[in-house]
Amino acid sequence: MPSSHPLPSPSDPHHGHHCHGLDVRPDWVPENAGAEFTTRVSQGVQPAIAVRHGGGAKRRQLSLDDYFAGVRAGDLSVLARAITLIESNAPAHQELAQTLLTRLLPHTGGAMRVGITGIPGAGKSTFIECLGTRLCESGKKVAVLAVDPSSSVHGGSVLGDKVRMEKLSRHPRAFIRPSPSGGSLGGVARKSREAMLVCEAAGFDTLLIETVGVGQNEVTVRSMVDCFFVMLIAGAGDEMQGIKKGIIELADLVVINKADGENRPRAMAAQADMKRVLHYLHPATPGWETPALLGSAVTGDGVDDIWKSVEGFFAHCRAGGFLRERRQVQAVEWLHALVNEALRSRFYNSPAVKADLHHIEFAVAEGKLPAVAAAQQLLASANFGD
């Protein structure tokens, strides 16, 4: 089975350039954008959990048993450290992390995994704060994870470093983790997927996985969640919100946020348009007609109905056996994605490829060497081909 989301090559000049730092607006924000795009990108803000549990003093090393027992007991400090372990690229950490994951695996799978995407400024964090707080108050344990590959490009991220969800982050039944900075989207996604499993083993029953809608991110997050919803805002333009790029086809739920005040009529018009579009689309989940719902993360209007719809979706999937099936397919796809990624990395890191890639690229660009022959030559020199 081929990987559904090829990763950019390390020599790709556009590799990961989603975010342009502090002084320049991200390239998905229109030049003349209004207040709805007031995404704050700030550097140097520590995630709440690190503030709470980090510290100057050197911490005691945890053994495998410590990690396992702490996670299973729902200890948030150990959970945070287990995720840090998973995110580490050091070989010794990776080995310990994989052993831990294997031990935790029988205790995973118990959460509703919900993905939320939308352009910066759509209101995702405000919405998650509102929804997450309500869910925690109703007795749920909510973990919020972010998948944002741009965080590794310039050191500042769009999702991870924003000062966000302050109320929810203080709730004892909530756990919020910013995006790992892993380089490629594949690297970030692997870490988030494993973090998701650890959160499940720690007893979280609701996982909210947030991503910035900039293209491949949505497809990747879709492949790790049960229910995927797209958050739109009226007036931001179809092109920009990925509506024309097939993102809506992936959605189990479409939410038009900011349906409040003077904006409500525009949101209602957008909802009517969206309903017409959805009516003609093949549903992302068999037998489930993707609804378009109105919400306001600020007033809280519609948030309960949106969650009821998510619950309805899960009931539908459980009854039809789709949930289990989707997770099985996702796990196998993930396996292939991991193999693909390992092969890529072995290929591009092999000394022969590193030495030859540049001039072979040049020869191909100049029309002096056919691409097929070039690929064969590189694969052979990396000992990948015949």
> What residues line the site for ligand GDP (CB under 6 A)?
36, 38-39, 118, 120-126, 257-258, 260, 296-298
Residue 62: its H or E element: none
CB of 207 to ligand GDP, least distance (A): 17
Give the tokens for residue 170.
Answer: 């203080």
Confirm if 254 and 248 have CB atoms less than 8 A apart.
Answer: yes
A 10 A CB-CB count for 110 gives: 10
Residue closer to ligand GDP, measured from CB, 168 or 250:
168
Residue 171: its H or E element: none
CB of 160 to ligand GDP, least distance (A): 11
Residue closer to ligand GDP, measured from CB, 38 or 63:
38
Strand order in the sheet with 292-294: 174-177, 142-147, 206-212, 112-118, 227-233, 253-257, 292-294
d(CA 190, CA 73): 24
In terms of phi and psi (left: phi > 0; alpha: psi -120 to 50; beta: otherwise), the region of 44 is left
A 10 A CB-CB count for 315 gives: 11
15 SS3 class: coil
Give the tokens for residue 225.
Answer: 């969640």
Residue closer to ligand GDP, measured from CB, 192 or 257:
257
CB of 218 to ligand GDP, least distance (A): 13
d(CA 179, CA 161): 9
CB of 371 to ligand GDP, least distance (A): 40
CB of 254 to ligand GDP, least distance (A): 15
Residue closer to ligand GDP, measured from CB, 42 or 98:
42
DSSP 23: T
Give the tokens for residue 372.
Answer: 């097929």
CB of 217 to ligand GDP, least distance (A): 13
Residue closer to ligand GDP, measured from CB, 84 or 309:
309
Confirm if 118 and 257 have CB atoms less than 8 A apart.
Answer: yes
CB of 180 to ligand GDP, least distance (A): 18
Residue closer to ligand GDP, measured from CB, 78 or 143:
143
State which residue has the least CB distance to ligand GDP.
Answer: 123
Residue closer to ligand GDP, measured from CB, 115 or 118:
118
